[in-house]
Amino acid sequence: MAILDRIGTIIRANLNDMLDKSEDPEKMLDQILRDMKSAIEEARAQVAEMIAQQRMIEADVQRATAMVNEWDAKARAAVQQGRDDLARDSLRRKADYKKNLDLYQQQLDTQRSLVQKLKDDLAQLEFKYDDALRRHDELINRSRRAAAQQRLSQQAQKFNSMDPTSELSRMEAKIRGQEAQVEADQALQGMSLDAQFQELERSGDVEDELARLKSESSAPAPKKPSGGDAYPS
């Protein structure tokens, strides 16, 4: 029966494996629970229907049994009254109902086996469903942790695919260049100050020399001795 096949498929399903292969385990788990609940409802309806049929067959067995007993009693009464003809007719009727009773009993045994199988399958499905409900939060948390670990692993692989040493070296070279530029600017600034001071010193020397020359040129010239005078000895 279709319901038995469906129940068997769900019962045999490996929940963890289905979640691992699912793109969205949370949605998959919810869908599994919905499917199991739907199957449980169908199974219960099927069990109820099979039990109803069993009750009908049991009623047929009871009626056939009653008729067998009734015609057996009539046959006995006919024998006691010396009515062999009625006794034979009663025994034939009894035999017909006995055949029906045997047939009904076979049907009842088969129906009872089917109902018991359905009940067992339903019990297993309900157990699986209750277990899935209990494990719902655990499975979802496991799925989320696995997803987080997977994302972290992917980021690590992405980072490992790069060459961090070359990137650090490039940044270090850039910083060293900036530092060298600062030092060069400071050196140029210092050289400019030195040049200004040297220029001031040179300007001061020139002015001193100019003042000296002016002083010499403005001083009176020394008198020359006359020609008749003799130099003292």
pLDDT tens for each residue of 4-50:
555 555 555 555 555 555 557 777 778 878 888 888 888 899 899 99
- For the chain, give the mean pLDDT: 77
128 in the same domain as 43: yes
Percent of the chain with pLDDT over 70: 66
The pTM (predicted TM-score) of the whole model is: 0.51
How far apart CA 172 and CA 1 sit, in angstroms, is 75
Q: What is the DSSP string of 64-127?
A: HHHHHHHHHHHHHHHHHTT-HHHHHHHHHHHHHHHHHHHHHHHHHHHHHHHHHHHHHHHHHHHH
Tokens 């980021």, residue located = 155
pLDDT of residue 231: 46
pLDDT of residue 71: 94
Instruction: Kindly report the length of the chain.
Output: 233
- The answer to whether residue 93 scores a pLDDT higher than 80 is yes
Tell me the three state secondary structure of residue 161.
coil
Q: Is the pLDDT at 225 greater than 50, yes or no? A: yes
Amino acid at site 65: T
More reliable by pLDDT, 169 or 20: 169
Are residues 115 and 141 part of one domain?
Answer: yes
Low-confidence winner among 121-125, 137-141, 163-167, 197-201 (lowest mean pLDDT):
163-167
| pLDDT the model gives residue 232 | 47
Query: Does 90 fall in a domain?
Result: yes
- Look up residue 232 and give its DSSP letter: P
Task: Let me know: does 33 contact 133? Beta carbons within 8 Å.
Answer: yes
148 with 171, same domain: the answer is no
Do 142 and 86 lie in one domain? The reply is yes
**Distances in whole angstroms, Cα of residue 74 to Cα of each of 77, 86, 99, 212:** 5, 8, 18, 175
Domain count, the chain: 2
In this structure, are 56 and 106 located in the same domain? Answer: yes
Residue-wise DSSP of 31-51: HHHHHHHHHHHHHHHHHHHHH
Residue 161's pLDDT is 56
